[in-house]
Structures are given as structure tokens and as C-alpha cells.
Structure 1
Amino acid sequence: MLRSLIPALFAVVAPAADLTYVTTWVGNSFDGAGENGRGRWMQNIIDEIEVAPDGTVLTASGWDEAGRCSGLYRDGMPNVKLLQQYNGKGGHKAWGWGTGGQAVAFAGDQLFIVNDEGELMRFRWTPGDLESASWVDEIKIGKTVGLSARGSTFVAIGADGVVSVRAISDLSEKSRFTLPGARDVAIDAQDTLWILSGDRIVHRGRDGAELPGVISDAGKPTSVAIDHQGHLLVCDDGARQQVLFYDLSATPTLVKRFGDEGGLRSGNPGTVTATKLWGLRGAGTDAAGNLYVGLNIAGYQSCGTVLKSFTPEGKLRWELHSHAFVDCYSFDPASDGREIYGADEIITFDPAKAPGQGWSLKALTIDAITHPDDPRLNGRHGATGILRRPQGKRLLANIGQYSGGFDLYTFESEQSHIARFRLHVGPTKDAGWAWEIDERGDIWCGDSPSHTVKRWKFGGWSADGAPIYDLAKPESWPWPEGFSEIGRVSYVPATDSLYVAGFTPEKKATSWGLIGSVVTRYDDWSTGKPVKKWTADMPVDDDKLQPKSMDVAGDYLFTVAVKSTAGRPSVVNVFKLSDGSAVGTIAPGPEVGGVSGWIDQSHGLRAMRCKDGEYRILVEEGARGKNLLYRWTPKK
């Protein structure tokens, strides 16, 4: 029951003026500016790469949020106009303008993509000109997992293990055979096939006849290719995390390995260096001997997606990054806004540098080799990583797109950046939306069963470094009066204030997963006799949707819209914590072409106040694989 020692204020949201701020971004090598079907960004995922003699890289993936499932890259730059089935004119069945799939190949002035509908598409292009590719024709060949072309022949590996040998000229099939478990193929100078099957690479003729040479020491191979010197390149995504080079002149012999042995586990665990590799998905060389490697841990979720190019001597030439597939980041509270954590990465931020140039990947916190049961490897598609430091130690709390509680991770040490899964806090189903973890490490749920607000207090650290929570005995309070639904909560220990966002019988939800139509501040919450200080109406976007996410930092409440407001995408509204009044708005600036996708994450905004009074606000921008980072200093 509420007690009102002071009059409850009701703040009505009036149209708020734009604030003065700077837009920058983190998590992607490019700004993502451009209309639908155009622009520069590094794609979300890499499943495979192929390399042309001139150094152009063609990628394959099943998904990119803005349709760059297959991309062209050269000298550290991507194509601007996306590859499009039927040149963009309707009929697209697979995602990404019809280009979503796992198999691609170059053949001189032609390139081939097999999409997830099993359509083998042929494009014509001028080698080296990333904007020249144009769809020509296609045939249906079925779901395909591997593709290779050389001379007048290309070979497709079907998902059912059927190996189809075809003529490039008219796409007609010349022969076929079945090899169970086949996943990729490379054609050597003698026109014979090296086929990745299971964890072995076997040698076959075009008619399927067995030929001498079997490679069984390639660890956990994920792809094969022939380099400029005729070596077989094998991506070993096992314990070595390296690109392997085999001499095929006689019995296949391993003659070279590239990449720091052990990948992310080498040196300081998790820390990224130029020659550490991880999640190897494909490799190849150009005519000059430059090496290209495509990296992506766990496939469909944009974990550690990087495309790297090295000189023949092994020095890094360039690299392109994409780390935020429908993810939202948060700040390390001990870093004064200079270190940023995601669900599986650590990013440094230098505010002195120009927009988009101030971020760099410091570490990846996932070790798929040591911890294969990590939930981040098993079905997570988008998450917010929230870093807290209870009692001075790092605690990473990951929460998914649909909320539902936290996966908690701890780090091996303050030096190691590998995070280990410890426990999940929250029901396994029907877990609700209103979850938060406060600065002390206490976990809150505002829409618990029986209309209760619950708190699981952080109880310290166990002897083996795990966080302690008594999951069976949370503190519990009844919902405040007047709410029909609670969508989010945020607790500030310093003032014992709980900010409750939700809906009322008069102001109902317009869609699922939104924070609410109102936000109310309650002081003295933990006493059991909370004081209602104010209630503020929440703004709606052009589709009449209430905000999707919110956070409290310093003296302000920040919310972000799902879609556009007055034509401006993903507008951030700022409110004073003192009285709930509207301060102003923030939206994507010219630094990113004014572009943002919809906000999908329940926790798609995180904010902090820096020591100098500047506020830094991170907002999910999943459409083009990044987070927007707004820098705003309130007027005194």
C-alpha cells in the first residue's frame, strides 16, 4: 500500500526539442548509411568465403538483418549496391534479396550463389568492380552446402551428400555421385576433387572414383580451398584454430599452419590480436598470395564476425568487423565510458577520435573449445550484455531479445577475458519482460506471478568464483496500485528508488514487449512503504507504439522508440529523474546518415554518466550490425 508524504506529480509529455549531441557508433567497421538495398556495413554472419584472383572476397550466409547475406569485399571495402536475385525485381524466396545461403563461387566474370531455396543463381561482373554484379539466370538444384568452380566446371555439394558436377557454360549436370557427410569441395589443377566429408578430406575424380590421398589430421575442418600455389587450404575450427596448408604433389602433407595456435585461448585468454583466429569459416588466397580468412563463432548470431586479409608474410593488411546482430551493449561502470561489454565481446572506446573511428575490439569472451555447452553457442539470437561489478569483480548478465531472465557469467580472472556460464536466474517459460540487474548485482523482476515485484539479492561470491543467489527466497512486494501490466523496472540503490514502467486500464498496450504507457518513480521502495513521486506519460512512435527499452543513469531516464517518430528512426526521449519532465530527444545523426533499424531488444538501450558530466547512450542498431553511441552533455 502506498503512502503519499508528498504530492504525487504527474508529468505530461509535451513535444520535446532536439538536444545537442554527437552520434557515433561501435561494433561495425562502417556507418551503415544508405537506403534499403544500398550502403556500407560489414554483414552480420559469415558461413563461407571464396576469393577471386584479384583479391575480391565473396561471402555466404543465411542471414543479414538488412539483406547483405552475400557480400563482395576488396581492399577493406564492401559493395554498396547489394547483390539481388532478379536484380531486385520481386520473387525473392530466400532472405536477403534472395541471396541467403551457404554456398558461393567465382568463375572469371561470373559468380554463383545457391540460396536457401536451392536456386543456383548466376551473376555477371567485371572482376575487381564491386558494383558491377548483375543477376543473369538461375536453375533449381536443391539445398546446397558447398560450391567450387575452376576452368569450365563447377561442383555443388548438396545437403543430402549428392556431389553434382556441372558445366559453367550452360549449368548442365555432367555427372553426380553421393558421398555421405560431404560439406565442401575444392577443385585442383588436375580437375580432381578434394571433398570435406565429416572430419576428413577425401580425394575423388569427377565421376566419384576414389583417388589416392586422404587427409585425416585436419582437426575440426570447416572448409577447403586451393591456394595460388596449388596447396589445399583447410580451416581447422578445432583446438588449433588455424588455417592449414597441405602440399598435394604426392601424399598430402601438412607444410604450413597460419594463426596463433589455440586461437583466443593463446596468450592472454580472450584478448584479440592480429594473428589470433577463431570460428574459422573459410579461407583463400589471391593471385599475389595474400590470405583471406572469414571468422564467425556459432554461426547464426554474429559472434566475432570478422573478415581478415594478410600479406604472404603473414602481416595484417586489413580487417572488417561486425559484432552486433540485434545486440545491445553496456558500459563497464569502472571504465568511465571507455570500455563496452556485449554478450560476447569487449570493446574499447576513445572519445577523442572521429565518429566511428574511436572503437576497437579488445576481446571476445566466448571459448567454444573449452566451453562447448555455453548458452551463447546454442541458439542465442540477439542479446544485451550488462556488466556489473559487485564487490569489485566482473559479472556479465546477458538477457535475450524477449527478456525472460538473465544468464550470468563470471571471468576466469581479472586478466583473462573468457567468461564462463554460471547460472540462469528466471523461469524457463513465461518469464516476463520486466527484468533488470542493478549496480549491486541484485536481480529484479517486475512482472512476477501473482502481480508481484521480486528481488534476488546478490549474496557474494562462492569459493570457486560463482555469484551467490538464493533463488528460492527472493524478496517480494505487491504491484503498485494502478498498473494492469508492468513492462520494465529499474532500481537505483542510492535513493532507494524503483522506476516502474507499465500499462494502466486506461492506457493499454499497443503491441507486445513494450515498456509501458507510463513510468512512475517510487522512493523508499525497500521499506515496504514506497512513496510515489511522479508519473510520466510515455511518447508513442508513428505506429502508436510505446517505447521498447529504457534505462536510468545519473539524473535522467532514457527511453527509445521501436520505429520512427515524425519520420525520425528510433528516437531517444530524455526525462528528468527529479520530476519526470521531458528534457528533449536524440535520434541518429548525419554521422550515420540518419539511419537506424527498429529496436528489437527488450533491453535495447543502456546509458551512463561519465565523470565529466557527459552522458553516453548505447542503442541497438541491428539493421546494419552496430550500436549507436550518443554523446550528450546537459546544459548547466
Structure 2
Amino acid sequence: MTDVKLLSRLGVAVVLTHSLISPNAIAQSQLNYTTSWIGNSFGFGDGKWMQQDIQAISVGADGTVYTNAPWDESGSEIAAYRAGDKLAVAGSTHGWGATGGDAVAVNHTYLYAAMSIGNQSNALVGTDYPPANQTWYGITRRTLANLATGAPFSGGIGNSANATKNSFVAVETVTTGTDASIRGLAATDTELYVADTYGNRIVVYDAQSMQPLRSWTMNAPSRIAIDTDSTLWIIGGFGTASPSILHYAADGTALAGSPALPADTMPGDIAVTPSGQLLVADNGASQQILVFNRGTGGQWQAGTSIGTRNGIFHTVRGVPDDVRFNGITGIGVDAAGNLYVAQNGEGPRALGSASVGQGAVLESYVYGTRVFNWRLYGLTFVDSAAFDPASPVSVYTGSKRFTLDYNQPVGHEWTYAAFTLDRFDYPDDPAFHQPRGVRGEPMVRRFDGQRFLYTLDPGAHYLNVYRFDSAHGEIAIPSGLLAQNPLPGTWPAAQPSYGEWLWRDSNGNGTVDASEISSNPSTGSTVGNGFWWVDEAGNVWLATPLSGIREMPRQGLDAAGNPVYTYASSKMFAMPAPFTRLARLVYSEATDTMYLSGFTSAIPWDATHWKEAGPVLARYDNWSSGTPNQIYTIALPWNTQSDPQTTTVGVAVAGNYLFVAELYTDRIDVYDARNGSAVGYMTPGASVGKTSGWVDVYLGISAVQRDNGEYVVLVEDDARAKILMYRWTPD
């Protein structure tokens, strides 16, 4: 053994070369740091969080906004907000087969919300659950006085083990996997109107007894609004290329006089103001709220639309601001004349989609003047964050950019600066076709005088490449894709049926053309389930599980400004001792330093820990020389027999320190990157409720050292739609 150094500060001796440093041999202490967060209006220190998606809203007369969505990671599918504050979470729509839904309505007494109840692959049996291989889609009824309490009724079913017992009615029973979600609800004090989209009908229930009263046929109905004369406005043709707005009497009689919509309008929601104006949320390119006034003879006249045309994509593209809407999912007006707008960066969930949107925004304006009232954000989910190397105050997530002001109070350091995903100009963005349909884990790099964004899907199977230009503002333009295996489904049509492939947007149009795809099928499964990394110079590294490490040196930029990568120029490096399987890689081109984590013969990999970073981390200097020098090996926290288990999931390096995220235990372990010694640990502080969700992705942690010596560490927290931010200055 060589290179023994005395760690006088810790009072222990550690062998650095070819040695194993055990964290258990060094007393670790909690560091002196500050916990904050990015991307959510609430930190959870006060027990509140803004939900990650909103698919529908209903506005009470007092300005309370009731929301619904199929999924919120911490169970806030159905919630209530007022005056920029969160009032309540309904609960009982999360887990044990239950999910939220795509519609919500209130009257003076009750909340009615779409939801589904399944049986978790037939694991749940009994009268509370549907028969094997089936799912119930229907409506839960709650009291406005306490959303967590069900309002049971004769014939009501479900949830016998909680406070919402017998307060659910099944509208459709379908084969599991079929999307039969209710897409529209509206209520008076006497009747409840239900858009059974799957069944192509409107069903009317008694609002008190919940007994069915009548129904009529309608093609794929969705949102419903009750007019001041008690007639109904309903969006029909949901999921088709040409949805329309139809007018009905409350008994189902079709009425004439629907407003003429501009070409290419995609109505996402509909509302009627107290004065009788008809509002239509356009989720097409305009991203506006269309206003229609009653004219003579029952005709409707178009008024002045609400919102900047093209919304967040107008002029300086991607910059959020007042009335620059982005994927409107719900609109409503209260009795006092306040407008409420819900958005998720996407619009209403497509049929069959499991999307949770691109981040929730709920905002309010004075209806007549458009003066801003308040706004709430829940912007990130299964999404990590990374710093722009040009500035420690600019932070990217997969589809957002935030700016930081470190002088602001905890939880207020961040400002939402940009939405970088453009579904209108770039519908072929590979992120839309990958698992979850969103960009996820980012790496920001600057080389050749340009800024580039690289992102991973949650499982790190695909590396997406994006470029920027002045004409597109903040939008990240699809530039390339490196895939370890073919994407599921039919997109893109020209991808190989087996093995690796890559795409480079050589013509610069942001579309994946067949002529731009290169395949490398001979590698087959040898790279499968590997981990991507991009160094400062834009070279791409892949830690394969069993076949060593591959570098794809960047071959400059092409005429369109895309980084160029080829399989022919790749370099392979053998898996170094002591590893038998690699899981994470961090490489610095500037210092030629490689950090690897993974599994060894002493603690081998097993499939139950498929996402983990492994129990061992090692540093190698002079990596590219062909004879790298192994400086140290660290035994990371690892105990699969504890409850919760102690395993690692992410690695970040900044300045003189290593930061390792544990998967289940809310803990960040800090090591001295120079010698591998354990320095201490950080866990979520009181400002975020002393808790975090699991770090649920492969690249869920990043770090930067500021000029003043402070380290800022960003960690994914998918539980409550935010990024945790730790601020620590070493002693």
C-alpha cells in the first residue's frame, strides 16, 4: 500500500491507492447547511405543496378553486386553493387501486370528482374493488366542508376502510388498460351532468341521491359548462382532430346557435361568466382564452381574446409572464369577477396517456381588466436540475430554466425564467416519444462558444441533445439522440429493430428524418442499461454495465450547429478493478479525472436494485493515458437488510467534494474528492418538512461551487413537485 496521508482534521489515517475507505470507519456528522427548494410555491415545511398536474378545475362562488388530476405523487390529485393559498387535499384517490381523474365540479354543498378504482393487477379483491382484469371509472362525492370526508349515498360503493366509504359511483366498468375516464362534469344544487366520454353519452344524476335520471347520446363529450339560462355547453369530439362546441337543453334537446370557432382551435375547456359571456380555452397554437358575446337573434360575436397570442411561445419564445398561457387545462370565473386559469404545459391529457403534464401553473386575474391577482407553481416531477457552467445562478431542469438570487429568503431564491420545450414547432422532439413523454435529467454544457442541453430519460436509456439560437429564444431545439436500444412503438419509423442507433439533425429542422439515423446493431445488448455522461468538451461517455466504458469524442459541430458523434470514432476502456458492474460515471475532461460507481464481487448487482448507483465508488487520475492511477475506493452506505434500505442512487462532483444521494433515506453523503474521506451528511431541513421523496432517477443530483466557496447541491424530489437545494460552506 502506498500514498498514506494523514487526515489531521478527522484524526484518522487513510490509504489512498488501491485501498477501500469505509464510511463506517469514520465518524460522520451532520453538516452545517441550509435547505431550500426550487420549482414549487410551497416547500412543505408548512405542510403544503402545489400539485404537479392539473387536468381540470371548478370554481366556487367564493373564489375557491377545486382541482383534479389522475396522479399526484403525494396524493393531492384533488385539492382546493384560494387567494394563492392551498386549503385542502381530498385524499383517498391515491394508492390501493385508486387514482384521481380528469374532471371536477362543485355546487353549494358537494364536490364531484372523476376518479378510477382498480385492483392492482388483481391483487385487491372484495366489494371495494372491480372484478379481475377490470377497472371502474366514475365519480367520488365529497362535502365542501371537508374534502377528505365522503358524502355517501344509497348504492354508493368503495373505500370501506376510509372516510370516503360508499361515496363513489361507477359510470363505466372496462377492461383494465382501457381509458374510460370521465372528461367533463358540471353541477347545480339539484343535478349533476357527466360526460361519459368512453360511452359517447351524457348522463344526468340527481345531485342529492346520486341516482341516474336520464342520458343522451353524444360523440366523445368532454367539458361541460352551465349557462345562465340553465342550458348546457359541451365540448364534443374529444380526442379527434376536430372537436366542437355544442349547445343542449338540460333535458338533452340539441339547440342551435353555437359560436363559430377560428380555424385550428382546439377547445380544452369552456366556461360561462356571471354576465353570460362564453369562454373557450384554446389549446391550439393561439394558447388564448376566446371570448364570445351574445348578439342579436341568438348569434354569438367574438370578443377580445384573453392572453397573448401564442402564449409562452410569443416573441421571446419560452419566457413566462402574465397572460402568456401554456397548455390551458381549466378556466373559470367566480361571482366577484375573478378569472382562474390552470395550465400544465401540455393541455388536457390525451386518451390512453399516462402523462402528468409538464408542470402545473394555477393563476388568477381580474376578469375585466386582466390585472394579475396570484399564481401558484408545481413545476417539476421526476426531473432533476443542473447548473449552467457559465453561471451558478442559472439552473436548468428538463423543460424549465430558473434563475437564482442567493440573497433572498429560503424558498424564494428562485424565479421561473423559461419553458424550453416547444410542442408546436418541434412535435418530433424525442422527449415526447420516450418514457413519460417529458424531458428529464439535464446536463448543460458550453463549448465552441455555444450552449447545449443534454437530457436523460428517467432510466438513462436515451441521451437527447439540444442546441439554442437567438431566433428561438429560450427554446431548446432538438439536435440529436443517442439510443442504447430501439424506442418502444413505431417512432421513429426508420429506427433499427435491434441494437444502438443515433440521430443527428443534419438539416436543422428539428425533425427525425430517416436519412439522419445511423445504427450500430452489432453492439446489441452490450450497452443496454448503461449510464450516459457528457464532459465539459461535449464528449459523450457511456458506462456499460458489463462491457467497460465507451467514449464518443465530439467531432466538432456540423453546418446546422449540432454536435457530431460517430460510432466509428468511439474509444473503449476496459472495466477497471474493483468493479464487476458499472452504474454511474462522472468524468472531468479538464483534469482527466474519472469517478465510477457500481458493484463488485463482494457486493454483486441484483435485479431488485436495478436503479442504484452501487455500494462502491472509485476515483482514477490520468484516465485517458491508458494506464490510469486508481487514487481511492470508497465503500458507500449500503445495507439492503435495513428498513428502510440504505442504498445509493446518484453521484455529483463539484470543487473539492463528492456528493452521493441515497435512494430511500433522504440523505446526501459528502466526501472529500481529493482523498475520499467522509466529511459529513445532509438531510432535508425544517423548511421542507424534514422530508423528501425518493431520488427516483439515475441522474438525480448535481452540484456547483460558487465563487464565495459555498457549495449548492440540487436533488430531485418527485414527492412534492420540486427540486431540493442544499447550501453548504465548508469550515
Same structural fold, with TM-score higher than 0.5 when normalized by the shorter chain: yes
Deviation, 1:383, is 1.7
Measured after TM superposition, the shift of residue 427 of structure 1 is 1.4
Contact 1:497 1:524 in 2 (8 A): yes
Query: Within the alignment, does 1:529 sit opposite 2:544 as a pair?
Result: no
Structure 2 residue 388 is the aligned partner of structure 1 residue 332 = yes
Contact 2:271–2:279, Cα closer than 8 Å, also in 1: yes
Task: For 1:339 and 1:474, locate their aligned partners in 2 and report how far apart those are by CA, in whole Å.
Answer: 32
Equivalent position to 1:244, from 281, 285, 290: 290
Q: Does 1:428 align with 2:485?
A: yes
Aligned to 2:203: 164
Name the counterpart of 1:181. Answer: 220
Structure 1: segments with no counterpart, 5+ residues: 1-5, 565-569
Shift of 1:415: 7.2
**Alignment match of 1:11 (pick from 11, 15, 21):** 21
Q: Hey, what's the Cα distance between the residues in 2 that align with 1:7 and 1:553? A: 22
- Residues 134-175 of structure 1: CA deviation (Å, up to 9, x unaligned): 311222223411101134222100122211122212122222
**Is 1:94 the equivalent of 2:195?**
no
Q: How far is 1:414 from its partner?
A: 8.1
Report which stretch shifted further, 420-429 or 71-80: 420-429
Measure the CA separation in 1 of the matches of 2:275 and 2:426: 37
The 1:508–1:580 alpha-carbon spacing in structure 2 relative to 1, beyond 3 Å, is same
Aligned partner of 2:463 in structure 1 is: 406
2:437 match: secondary structure = coil
Report the Cα offset of residue 561 of structure 1: 0.5
Per mean C-alpha deviation after superposition, the further-off stretch among 597-606 and 460-469 is 460-469
Instruction: Measure how far apart 1:92 and its partner are.
Output: 4.8
2:584 corresponding residue in structure 1: 488
1:84 aligns with 2:91: yes
- The alignment status of 1:28 with 2:40, answered yes or no, reads yes
* Aligned residue in 1 for 2:103: 103
Task: Tell me, in whole angstroms, the C-alpha distance in 1 between the residues paired with 2:95 and 2:721.
Answer: 26
Query: Is the contact between residue 231 and residue 246 of structure 1 (CA under 8 Å) also seen in structure 2?
Result: yes
Q: Is the 8 A contact 1:200 1:214 kept in 2?
A: no
1:69 CA displacement: 0.5
Cα distance, 1:509 vs structure 2: 3.3
Q: 2:187 aligns with which of 143, 149, 167?
A: 149
Distance of 2:479 and 2:564 partners within structure 1: 10
Farther-moved stretch of structure 1 (413-422 vs 375-384): 375-384
The unaligned stretches of length 5 or more in structure 2 are: 1-15, 118-136, 153-166, 173-180, 238-242, 350-354, 487-524
Q: Shift in Å at residue 205 of structure 1?
A: 2.2
Superposed displacement of residue 464, structure 1? 1.6
TM-score of the superposition, structure 1-length normalised?
0.92
Contact 1:113–1:121 under 8 Å retained in 2: yes
Helix, strand or coil at the partner of 2:448: helix
Deviation, structure 1 residue 490: 0.7
The alignment's C-alpha RMSD in Å is 2.1
**1:420-474: CA deviations, max 9, x gaps?**
21221131256324221112211111116x6120011222222222221124431
Q: Measured at CA, do residues 133 and 523 of structure 1 come closer, stay the same or move farther in structure 2, by a change above 3 Å?
A: closer
Higher relative contact order (CA 8 A, sep 6+): 1
Partner of 1:356: 411
Conserved 8 A contact 1:200-1:215: no
Q: Which amino acid in structure 2 is aligned with residue 444 of structure 1?
A: W
3-state SS of paired residue (2:256)? strand
What is the DSSP-based 3-state SS (H/G/I as helix, E as strand, rest coil) of the residue aligned with 2:658? strand
1:329-370: CA deviation from partner (whole Å, max 9, x where unpaired): 1111111x2111010000011110111011110010011222
- Take 1:480 and 1:216, find their aligned partners in 2: how far apart are those partners? 68
The whole-number CA distance in structure 2 between the counterparts of 1:115 and 1:577 is: 49
- TM-score when normalising by structure 2: 0.80
Match of 2:648 among 547, 570, 591: 547
Q: Residue 597 of structure 2: SS of its match in structure 1?
A: strand
Task: List per-residue Cα deviations over 1:285-306 (Å, max 9, x = no partner).
Answer: 1111110000012352341410
Query: Which string of whole-angstrom CA distances, capped at 9 and with x for unpartnered residues, describes residues 12-47 of structure 1?
Result: 21341111111110010001237xxxx211101011
CA shift, 1:55, in A, is: 0.5
2:690 aligned to 573, 594, 607, which one?
A: 594
Partner in structure 2 of residue 561 of structure 1: 662
Amino acid of the residue matched to residue 416 of structure 1?
G
Equivalent position of 2:151 in the other structure: 136
**Residue matched to 2:543:** 446
Asked if 1:120 corresponds to 2:139, the answer is yes
Identity %: 31
Could you tell me how far apart the structure 2 residues matched to 1:482 and 1:329 are? Answer: 31
One-letter amino acid of the structure 1 residue matched with residue 267 of structure 2: P
Deviation at 1:479, TM superposition (A): 0.8
Check conservation: 2:77, 2:91, Cα contact below 8 A: no
131-140 vs 454-463, which deviates more? 131-140
**Which residue identity does 1:93 align to in structure 2?**
G
Note if contact 2:465-2:478 (Cα within 8 Å) is conserved in structure 1.
Answer: yes
Whether the 8 Å contact between 1:561 and 1:571 is mirrored in structure 2 is: yes
Aligned length: 609
Q: Deviations over 1:212-231 (max 9, x none)?
A: 12334151111112122122
